[in-house]
Amino acid sequence: MSTSIEIGLLKLKKQRDKINDKLAEIEKVIENVEKAEEYIKKNTIFEGDPLETKVLKKYLELGNVKKVADYISELGYRITTEYKNGNTSERKYIASDISSIITNTDLNVDKELQEFALMIYEMNYTAMEKMWV
């Protein structure tokens, strides 16, 4: 074989390997999403659930921190904010508050719930990051 053909075949092999790697990633994501869907179906939000549990369950359902913040605020939950001058006030939850809850690994919640929520959060974050890069 000529050298140019060998180089061409080598390039095609590298492209095939990249495609196979991406395909494996996609299959893993699909599997994780299916597991999360099953988990969501058996985990409804109860009135007595702690705030963090409600946030994680609702995030699994909606996949959007802004919508979860709106939902939590509609339920009447407020967060205390302390200002530099020492004053405090209560305000509605915003998206960054929800993100902080989702990414906090020290929560006293069901670890499987937290893992699924964090997995979806990271997938959404990565997708948005790619969109803006």
Q: Across residues 4-23, what is the average pLDDT?
A: 90
Give the predicted TM-score (pTM) of the model.
0.72
Question: How high is the pLDDT of residue 36?
Answer: 74
For residue 78, give the DSSP letter: -
Q: What's the token pair of residue 59?
A: 């995030």
In a domain, 107, yes or no: yes
DSSP element (H, E) containing 89: strand 88-91
Q: Tens digit of pLDDT for each residue in 75-129?
A: 999 999 988 898 999 999 999 999 999 999 899 999 988 998 998 898 887 766 6
Q: What is the spatial distance between Cα 53 and Cα 33, in angstroms, rounded to a whole number?
A: 19
Question: How high is the pLDDT of residue 30?
Answer: 86
In a domain, 84, yes or no: no
Q: What's the token pair of residue 118?
A: 């964090």
Task: Residue 123: give the domain boundaries.
Answer: 3-69+95-132
In a domain, 115, yes or no: yes
In a domain, 88, yes or no: no
Q: What is the spatial distance between Cα 132 and Cα 108, in angstroms, rounded to a whole number?
A: 34
Question: How high is the pLDDT of residue 129?
Answer: 60
Question: How high is the pLDDT of residue 133?
Answer: 53
Total structural domains in the chain?
1
In a domain, 79, yes or no: no
Q: What is the spatial distance between Cα 25 and Cα 30, in angstroms, rounded to a whole number?
A: 9
Identify the burial level of 93 via C-beta atoms within 10 angstroms of its C-beta, where 0-12 means exposed, 13-18 middle and 19 or more buried: buried
In a domain, 81, yes or no: no
Q: Across residues 62-73, what is the average pLDDT?
A: 96
In a domain, 117, yes or no: yes
Q: Tens digit of pLDDT for each residue in 29-52?
A: 888 778 877 877 777 888 899 999
pLDDT band at 2 (very low <50, low <70, confident <90, very high): confident
In a domain, 53, yes or no: yes
